[in-house]
Structure 1
Amino acid sequence: MTFDEQELETLSDYFGNAPVALHMLGADAVVARANRTELETLGYQDAPAEYLGHDLREFVVEPRRVDEMLDRLAAEGELQDFPLTLVRRDGGLVPVRLFTSGRRDGDRLVGDRAVLIPRDESRRPKDVPVFQGDTLALAGKSREEKEALYRDLKDFFQHAPVSLHIVTADGRVRYTSARELEAMGYAESPEDYIGHHIAEFHADQAVIDEMLENLVSGAPLVDHRAKLRTRDGRIQPVFIYSSSRMNGGDFVNTRCFTFPLPADAEVESSIHRAFVWPRNEDYGLHAEPSADLSREAAMSLALRYVAGRKRPEETLGFLAECSRLLAGTSDLGTRLREVLRLTAGYLADRAAVHVPAANGGGATWSAGRGAGVGGAADALLQRALAGGITHACLDAGARRGEELERSLLAEGVNALLVAPILVRGTVAGALSLARAADAERTTFGPADLALAEELARRLAPELEIARLRGELHG
């Protein structure tokens, strides 16, 4: 048979270095293949020959349970969550939950495909080893041995008793099992699932953010709870085990195993979300995949998405530094310019605070590239000052047919936010932020809008104190 060497390497890594125990039984319950996690779990990592090729009954507290499993497999085709207690090489007991599907030759059961997880999972991710390398010793195999291994691994992946998938560095699903396509409702149209970003199928974006962050950094997922959205819109609670294939320090792909939970199960996450910061929509999720996408570009897509979760942490640090600067002892103008310089470096290309005067004119402090406002930007500023609500053009380039957007682009501005500074409901000034049309970041999103409004709220007391001291008039 013919096979793709790269696919064989991917499947070999997936099986050999998976974060859960895997094995394939042959005739008469003989262990034909087992992965590193199973060998480590049972203590045979240094003596695999004492496990491989042996009857599974030798490693079970009650051998009759293996016979029961095989009888049920022959009758039912698969077993979900079958309790079994294994015996380690040192005599220790390992209670597991067994998920298995039968391998057949016609009507005859000739083996199984098994996934095993601890019955009472108490490990923390940092306590779970993440394996790398050529665990199945591909390099030393003949072509005939590779062909046999490829057949077994392909069969295991396609017909495993639980949902399997591989997500590559661009965040997209590249391989998936038949069970997963069926469970997610894409069995008839796999092209609507494979090749799409994994985040599209998660109901809780904060959870997938956390998962991607862990996996890109090389940390495993252990009994990680999540909610998936199936094709028909149904929400399916699941728990997930996954680890990352790494090449040096670079993330290559995931090794993901997904197990269903009852539909009414409580899905607890390690994320506390009593307070939620808005997220910008575009982190490159919908960029068209390219066959010649470089590793750097692929990592950029994945990490830009992960940045959606990192942003609130950075935002907190930015706001804390702004508060520290505003609490200084220098005059108002100096403190405002320090905050604006910080803001222009973090959030925009230019930033300004405008305080109008009752008789016209007023004061403006600004910082950053091209600081100041032009005619179109001034029009947006006047709307915010008059109405006391935020006005924004988030992406002029996307609406260049509109008069305001054309004017902003002519002034070299692609995105502009103007947030009013309110003191007890009265407009005391406005904060304006602009991103240049030729900058690396040219658009604003919901997170930027929320951050601008929060910064405006922190500026309000300073303007009011300055007014009471007679430093401002208006």
Structure 2
Amino acid sequence: MTVDHPSAPTIEQLIDVVGNSSVGITVTDRSGAVLLHNKAQSVLMHGEADHLRGRILTDGEDALPGLLAQLEENGRFENVRVTYQSADGTQSHLAAVNAVVAGAGDQSRIHWVSRPELGERLPVSNTSTENPTSDAAAWIRAVNERATPVLTPNKEHESVLREFYELAPVAIHLIGVNGQVMHANPTDVALVEYSATPGEYVGQHIRKIYEDQGLLDDFLSRWDEDSPIINFRANFVTRDGAPRPVLIFSTAQAAGGHVSNTRCFVFNDPEPQRERDTVSAFGWPA
């Protein structure tokens, strides 16, 4: 699916968004051999990998053959619970993975996006003290501190990165410091049902798609401070005004003390019936 965007991210933006995202990203060939992966994926796997064989499990067994079979049959899947493990099998991390096949035959690639399974979220209620030992805080700290992997995305991966952006099995948008939607991938545009009229969303203020306006005001202030939003349940609003339960993982790109844009990854909430998160103990307005 291709959406006619006013513009696409630059290669520098794509390298940053993929390489420094708060969720694991891996691109492989059709056998599971890794072409690139980011820092967050290294955290999930407790190390780097050149192949997913033996590094992704379900029920204690190598999940790769079964996942590849699903992709062969359906072309994509979403929210599959897996366990990533270290090369020696002594460390592991629970995750939920989305994946999609791009292309056909021997030249096809698989784009994998994995979010950590966390019990807590950031930000917490503004009446609570943030716990630096919470699993959400520990997650983003580990990602930020992780060394850049050997197979990190770079300019030589431009065609792969642009393919990932266009076909990614997760919604991605970049928000400027003024709150404008700078870029949104086709999955993101479709999530809020603007595929037929993307210009009504891309280039407009992000306020347009948030059900809770007070929550968005809080988020905008946090983005300006480069404060992460991790495992946060909210409702977006579609073009027709319907609520869309989502799970948000967002960080900001900052250089020289100034934030240039966010790196927002948005998942369909696998538990849409759950109460939405708030930053005020009483919901907004506080």
Same fold, TM-score > 0.5, yes or no: yes
Q: Distance in 2 between matches of 1:126 and 1:28?
A: 32
* Aligned mates of 1:187, 1:6 — CA distance in 2: 18
Report what 1:291 is aligned to: none
Q: Which amino acid aligns with 1:114?
A: W
User: In the alignment, is the contact (CA less than 8 A) between 1:24 and 1:111 conserved in 2?
Assistant: yes
> Relative to structure 1, is the Cα distance of residues 276 and 206 closer, same or farther in structure 2, using a 3 angstrom cutoff?
closer
Tell me, in whole angstroms, the C-alpha distance in 2 between the residues paired with 1:33 and 1:249.
29
CA–CA separation in structure 1 for the residues paired with 2:162 and 2:229: 24
Structure 1 residue 60 displacement after superposition: 2.9
- The 5-angstrom pairing of residues 287-302 of structure 1 reads none
Q: Does structure 1 residue 34 correspond to structure 2 residue 37? A: yes
Residues 125 and 219 in structure 1, CA contact (< 8 A), matched pair in contact too: no
Q: Distance in 2 between matches of 1:74 and 1:241?
A: 29
Q: How far 1:218 sits from its partner (Å)? A: 1.1
1:83 CA displacement: 1.6
Name structure 1 gaps, 5 residues minimum. Answer: 278-474
1:60 to 42, 56, 61: 56
- Could you tell me the percent identity over the aligned residues? 23
Say yes or no: does 1:117 pair with 2:115.
yes
How many residue pairs are counted as aligned between the two chains? 259
Describe the superposition over 1:407-460 as per-residue Cα deviations: whole angstroms up to 9, x where unpaired: xxxxxxxxxxxxxxxxxxxxxxxxxxxxxxxxxxxxxxxxxxxxxxxxxxxxxx
Report the AA paired with residue 269 of structure 1: T
Counterpart CA distance in 2 for 1:56 and 1:124 is 25
Which position in structure 1 is the counterpart of 2:82?
84
The structure-2 alpha-carbon separation of the partners of 1:29 and 1:168, relative to structure 1 and needing over 3 Å to count, comes to: same
Q: Measure, in 2, the Cα distance between the counterparts of 1:256 and 1:203.
A: 17
Contact 2:177 2:259 in 1 (8 A): yes
Equivalent residue for 1:259?
267
Instruction: Say yes or no: does 1:236 pair with 2:244.
Output: yes
Check the 8 A contact 2:44/2:85 in 1, yes or no: no
Say if 2:9 and 2:183, in contact at 8 Å, map to a contact too.
no
Counterpart of 2:278? 269
Q: Which has the larger radius of gyration?
A: 1
State the 1:189 CA deviation: 1.2
SS of equivalent residue, structure 2 residue 239: coil
Match for residue 376 of structure 1? none
Alpha-carbon distance, 1:263 to partner: 4.7
Distance 1:153 1:274 in 2: 38
- Whether the aligned pair in 1 keeps the contact of 2:70 and 2:77 (CA below 8 Å) is yes
Aligned to 2:126: none
CA distance in 2, matches of 1:33, 1:188: 32
Q: Is the 8 A contact 1:31 1:56 kept in 2?
A: yes
Match runs of 1:398-413 below 5 Å: none
SS of the residue 2:232 aligns to: strand
Q: Is contact 2:44-2:116 (8 Å) kept?
A: no
Q: What is the CA deviation profile of residues 304-327 of structure 1, one whole-angstrom value per residue up to 9, with x for unaligned ones?
A: xxxxxxxxxxxxxxxxxxxxxxxx
Q: Matched residue of 1:94: which SS?
A: strand
Map of 1:100 onto structure 2: 99
Deviation at 1:273, TM superposition (A): 3.1
Unaligned segments of structure 2, at least 5 residues: 1-6, 121-134
Deviation larger for 119-128 or 186-195: 119-128
Q: Secondary structure at 1:58's aligned position in 2?
A: coil
Question: Relative CO higher for 1 or 2, CA cutoff 8 Å, sep ≥ 6?
Answer: 2
Q: Deviations over 1:142-171 (max 9, x none)?
A: xxx83x411111111111111111112221
Q: 2:234 aligns with which of 222, 226, 231?
A: 226
Which structure features the higher share of helix residues?
1
2:183 to 175, 188, 205: 175
CA contact (8 A) 2:174 2:263 kept: yes
TM-fit CA distance, 1:32: 1.1
Of 180, 191, 202, the match for 1:194: 202
Do the aligned partners of 1:202 and 1:228 also contact (CA within 8 Å) in 2? Answer: yes
Deviation at 1:100, TM superposition (A): 0.9
Distance 1:20 1:159 in 2: 16
- Per-residue deviation, residues 268-313 of structure 1 (Å, max 9, x unmatched): 3232236846xxxxxxxxxxxxxxxxxxxxxxxxxxxxxxxxxxxx
The Cα shift of 1:27 comes to 3.2
Correspondence for 1:334: none
Q: Secondary structure at the match of 1:246?
A: strand
Contact kept, 8 Å, 2:227 with 2:251, in 1: the verdict is: yes
CA RMSD across the alignment: 2.8
CA distance in 2, matches of 1:233, 1:218: 30
